[in-house]
Each structure stands twice: as structure tokens, then as C-alpha cells.
Amino acid sequence: MGALIFYIAIYFIGYYAAHLVNQVAGRVLLHNRRVAGLVLVLMVSMFHAYKILSSPLPHDHDNGAGYALGFYVVMPVTIIVIAVLFLTWQERHDGDI
């Protein structure tokens, strides 16, 4: 749950950073802010996965690094990607009614 909240926060940082860049530039430099948020999430998730795989396992956990990678990186990023794709799909089909 904590990893999902962390990645949601990272997504919104990227989303609003793209908006801020567009406001400061005075024109649209980054057309799709959702993709900018996803790019930041993917960059942070790659670094997070590297840190999980390169650090030694705690001595009291018998679960492997694959479990930690799936639970703390893959699952939250997958949920965020699915949510963004769903919202993009909803936005495109909103005018069809």
C-alpha cells in the first residue's frame, strides 16, 4: 500500500512538473502531461528495482528479491499505468455520447 501511494505521488509530481514547464515557457512544450507523469514513474521504478536487486536481503525474510520486486515495484506501476490508460480512454470516449 505504501509503495502505491509513493508511486502515485511520483506520478503527480511529474504531471504537475510538466504543467509548470508549460506555464513557465509560455507555450506548450510537453503536450501530454499524463505521459510525462508516467515517464517519471518508470524512471523512479527502474532506480527502485535496481536498489532492491543490488542490496542484500534482510536476514529475517525468507522471501526473495523477486517477491519484493513484484510487490513494491511491478504491482504499483502496473496499477498506475492501467489507471492512466483507463482515464485516457474515458476522455476520448466522453464526447461520443
CA-nearest of 74, 2, 90, 83 to 37 is 83
Domains: count for the chain: 1
Q: Is the pLDDT confidence value at 17 over 60?
A: yes
Residue span of the structural domain in which 59 resides: 2-96
Express each pLDDT in 25-39 by its tens digit. Answer: 988 888 889 999 999
Task: Write a three-state SS string for 33-69.
Answer: HHHHHHHHHHHHHHHHHHHHHHCCCCCCCCCCHHHHH
Question: What does the angle CA 38 – CA 50 – CA 57 come to, to the nearest 5 degrees?
Answer: 130
Express each pLDDT in 59-90 by its tens digit. Answer: 766 778 888 899 999 999 999 999 999 998 99
